[in-house]
Amino acid sequence: MGEINVVPYIDVMLVLLIISMITAPLLTQGIKVDLPKRGEPLDPECSKMPSAVLSVDRSGALYMKLEAEIRQPLAADAVAARVRPRCGATRTCLCW
């Protein structure tokens, strides 16, 4: 009766163990990134407003999402027209 030769399987397992022991220390190294600290908003009214997300794709098209809208490309003046009523004519809103 034929038996299974397990020696090649043990060799493969030992090779995988050695590879994982060599690569594990390399994976723990990373790049140090200094993230900016979040400050308090300038105006408490800004925190009460619903969020607006402005995105730019690779081609340079602008997309603005206010609450649950469908994503459509907008011109820069259309984005400004939609942001202006939210911030007021003389107030400056910061985004972060």
Sequence-distant (≥ 6) Cβ neighbours of residue 42 within 8 angstroms: 92, 94
Can you give the residue ranges of every domain in the chain? Answer: 47-87
d(CA 77, CA 85): 13
| pTM, full prediction | 0.40
Residue range 41-85, pLDDT digits in tens: 556 666 666 677 788 888 888 888 776 667 778 888 888 787 777
Higher pLDDT among residues 23 and 71, named by residue: 23
Sign of CA dihedral 7, 13, 16, 22: negative
